Amino acid sequence: MKFVIFMLGIVAATPIDHDRRDNFNPAGMLWCDSGTEGNGGCEANGLSTFCCRGEFEAPGYVIQRNTTVFSRNKSSSPFCTAPGGKVIDGGQIVCAPNGASTQ
């Protein structure tokens, strides 16, 4: 019984990133825009910053890219935003090599 209580304590103490929408895995093929402003983390690793989502949606998410990891914008938000700061539904900021997929 003590073991079960101990394990529940570990699960309860595990941090949850409430800023993420885990509707897709950032590593893989995603539909992206032509580029977005990030916090510099992607570029520091030789990658570019894009706004991407799991499904094709014109006019914004029309370029398929092989993405690597989630990133954030200069305001530390992981979500894609329109001019004026409105969050764009379903899009998240990710890192990927510059250039469209050949797939």
Alpha-carbon gap, residue 100 to 65, rounded angstroms: 5
Residue 10 has pLDDT above 80, yes or no: no
Question: What are the strands, taking DSSP E only, across the chain?
Answer: 28-32, 48-53, 63-67, 79-81, 87-96
Query: Could you read off the pLDDT of 51-103 as tens digits, one per residue?
Result: 999 889 888 889 999 999 999 999 899 998 877 777 777 789 999 998 766 45
Domain range annotation of the chain: 19-96
